[in-house]
Amino acid sequence: MNPLTNVKNITKLGEQELLYDRKTSWHDEYKNSAWIFIGGLPYDLTEGDVITIFSQYGEPVNINLIRDKDTGKQKGYGFLCYEDQRSTILAVDNLNGMKILGRTIRVDHVSDYKVPKDSKKIDDVTRKLRLEGCASQKF
């Protein structure tokens, strides 16, 4: 599906939720995951830039920007994990469809994030987060 169509569909879900008196939110399907997908990022953004943008809705604890294995250049998409799962709802509702440096980004929930295969380059904190998960399971 076209990425811009995905942005519009996610926005439409949020609008429908406001119009109808629903007992549960479509976000509830993702209550066990604190990971979000971010697509359409400008290629020259760094992990720090993405964290700065997304930290306005919660505390990011892990980020995985996908990079080309040969060149190391960012591919324009990645995954971010918040300390609190509720931050994912705020990020999806408020940042999906936003323009960053002229590019419309797509932000969506990830229900079952698959951590990258372990490499020797990751630090102990990241390894622990990937094993144990990154959001508290209070809810």
- The CA distance from 130 to 87, in Å, is 19
**Residue 139 pLDDT grade (very low, low, confident, very high; cuts 50, 70, 90):** very low
Q: What are phi and psi of 115, to 5 degrees?
A: -70, 150
Sketch the domain layout of the chain as residue ranges.
3-27+36-132
Q: In angstroms, how far apart are the furthest CA atoms of the chain?
A: 51
- CATH node for 3-27+36-132: 3.30.70.330
pTM: 0.76
Tell me the pLDDT tens digit for each residue of 67-96: 998 998 999 999 999 999 999 999 999 999
Tell me the pLDDT tens digit for each residue of 29-67: 888 899 999 999 999 999 999 999 999 999 999 999 999
Tokens, residue 29: 């399907």
Measured in residues, the chain has a length of: 139
User: CA 17, 114, 133 angle in degrees (round to 5)?
Assistant: 80
